[in-house]
Chains A and B, each alone.
Chain A
């Protein structure tokens, strides 16, 4: 089954404790992206990747890192999480930047 998977689905952590949210797709998509969704602010892009080893900042990249060492994986790293990073996070992938994006199930992160 073609899909985007994310782990963990739920995470409660404390300020400053490094964490990684994994994202994997099995559709051989070149383009991958991370979004956060907050009430009243909608979906905002954090980082994106056009292909392996090619990543760039989105609208709200501060406090986040990403890497794209393999085509299928695009982990999101929070080196020192803060409470303002409490949000619902989605990973998405598509054939190219102009094609429809398919979303993972989401990761609900709470930083205390």
Chain B
């Protein structure tokens, strides 16, 4: 059974600070890693995708992947109140059998305090 673990939070961060979100996964065959942002009652919105070890930056967002430690993280710099949402970590695997596609963590609820 593939598992993706996230701290549910809430994670409270002051406006302008760096928010750090973490995720671990169980399947060593995982190949694709994604961060989605979800506002209450809305659909998940893709924030970042990362496929290889290291850092990937896009604007205020940086995704970090460490396959040896089975760990992926998301950093949000200069946090804004509009960043307050639930952040979902999703992992995909090339391994066959059973369910296919993304396995989601249950999400971290992030609150940016003005």
Q: Is the CB of B46 within 8 A of A97?
A: no
Given contacts A42-B106, A105-B43, A106-B42, contact A98 B94 (CB under 8 A): yes
CB distance from A102 to the nearest CB of B (A): 7
Q: Mark A36-76, 1 if CB is under 8 A from B, else 0.
A: 00001111110010100000111100000000000000000
Q: Is the CB of A48 within 8 A of B101?
A: yes
Q: Mark A100-111, 1 if CB is under 8 A from B, else 0.
A: 111111100000
Size category of the B interface is 20 to 34
Q: Is residue B87 within 8 Å, beta carbon to beta carbon, of the partner chain?
A: no
> Which of B41, B49, B92: most chain A Cβ within 10 A?
B92
Q: Is residue A84 within 8 Å, beta carbon to beta carbon, of the partner chain?
A: no
Residues of chain A with a CB closer than 8 A to B90's CB: 101
* Chain B 16-65 residues near chain A, CB threshold 8 A: 31-32, 34, 41-46, 49
Q: Is the CB of B101 within 8 A of A90?
A: no
Given contacts A33-B101, A56-B100, A98-B94, contact A42 B46 (CB under 8 A): no
Given contacts A57-B99, A59-B99, A105-B43, contact A100 B34 (CB under 8 A): yes
Q: Is the CB of B102 within 8 A of A45?
A: yes
**Interface of chain A, main secondary structure:** strand
Cβ-defined partner of A99 (8 Å) among B32, B41, B42, B104? B32
For A, the interface residue count at a CB cutoff of 8 angstroms equals 27
Q: Is the CB of B106 within 8 A of A40?
A: yes
Q: Is the CB of B32 within 8 A of A104?
A: no
Besides A43-B88, A100-B49, 10 more A-B contacts (Cβ < 8 Å) are A43-B104, A48-B101, A56-B100, A97-B101, A98-B92, A101-B34, A101-B90, A101-B101, A101-B102, A102-B46
| Interface pairs (9), CB distance under 8 Å | A33-B101, A42-B105, A45-B102, A50-B100, A97-B101, A100-B34, A101-B46, A101-B90, A106-B41
Residues of B whose CB lies within 8 Å of any CB of A are 31-32, 34, 41-46, 49, 88, 90, 92, 94, 99-102, 104-107
